[in-house]
Amino acid sequence: MCSPSLALGGVQAAGGVMGAMGQHRAQQAAVARQNQIQEQQYQQQLRIQQEKDRVKKEKHTADLQNHAQALSDYQKQLELTQLETNRAMAVAKQKKTERNTKASFDLEAAVAKSIQAQGQTLSTGKSGQSFLLSVEQNKRSLGFATAQIEQQMYDTNKAFNLENQGILMQQYNQDASAYSSLPGHPTAAKASTIPYKPIPIAGPSKMALMGNMIGAVGSGISTAVTTQRAIQGGDDALTWPWSKST
């Protein structure tokens, strides 16, 4: 039959071992749960950063397409401006040509008129002072007409040059305005920072569990010894509960 002290010590030892094992399992479960939460948070942050990068990439692609379209529109605008410049300069040149042609006809008419007047003077057969005066008058009339026509041609050429300068200046302003409206070349956004992968939390060691179990057994033995002494009623003779009486 088992002694009460042995039974009590065994119960205490068994309870201590079970408590140590239960505490060990509880710590393991808590650590596993904490690691699981960290891993879930890490995966969620990773998905968020990946989604941000996807949005950045799509926006960069759209920006590149818009920039390419803007460049195409800019080139078309330059071509249209050049065509308008060529047209305006052709019109200006045509006006100059018409004015110079009219001036040339006017000059020919003035020369013809002078020759006709000179012939009429000669046909009179007159000589002397009046004849000389008539000749000089014809020369002066032709000179005045020639100077007037030459001034007209000079003014026409000057107006043509000024008009061309204005046309070219207008073309430059239109080209500069079209260029200033161009959007800047899009640059790719930096990739999002990848979150740090969490370091798993270490669980309770098996050595600690074994230590707690050994401690529980030792505590049970100590309880058995103390109980046996109390039963025997003294400390002068120590008898282990499992030893046989002599």
Neighbours of 7 (CB within 10 A): 14
Single pTM value for the model: 0.53
Percent of the chain topping pLDDT 70: 61
Closest C-alpha to 136, from 113, 117, 157? 117
Q: How far apart are CA 240 and CA 226, in angstroms?
A: 10
Q: How far apart are CA 36 and CA 203, in angstroms?
A: 13
pLDDT over threshold 50, residue 70: yes
Q: What burial class does residue 184 get, using C-beta atoms within 10 Å of its C-beta: 0-12 exposed, 13-18 middle, 19+ buried?
A: exposed
Q: How far apart are CA 188 and CA 55, in angstroms?
A: 12
pLDDT at 245: 44
pLDDT at 244: 45
pLDDT at 184: 84
Q: How is 7-57 classified by DSSP, letter by letter?
A: HHHHHHHHHHHHHHHHHHHHHHHHHHHHHHHHHHHHHHHHHHHHHHHHHHH
Q: Is the torsion defined by CA of 24, 30, 32, 38 positive or negative?
A: negative
Looking at per-residue confidence, does 205 or 199 come out higher? 199
Q: What burial class does residue 228 get, using C-beta atoms within 10 Å of its C-beta: 0-12 exposed, 13-18 middle, 19+ buried?
A: buried
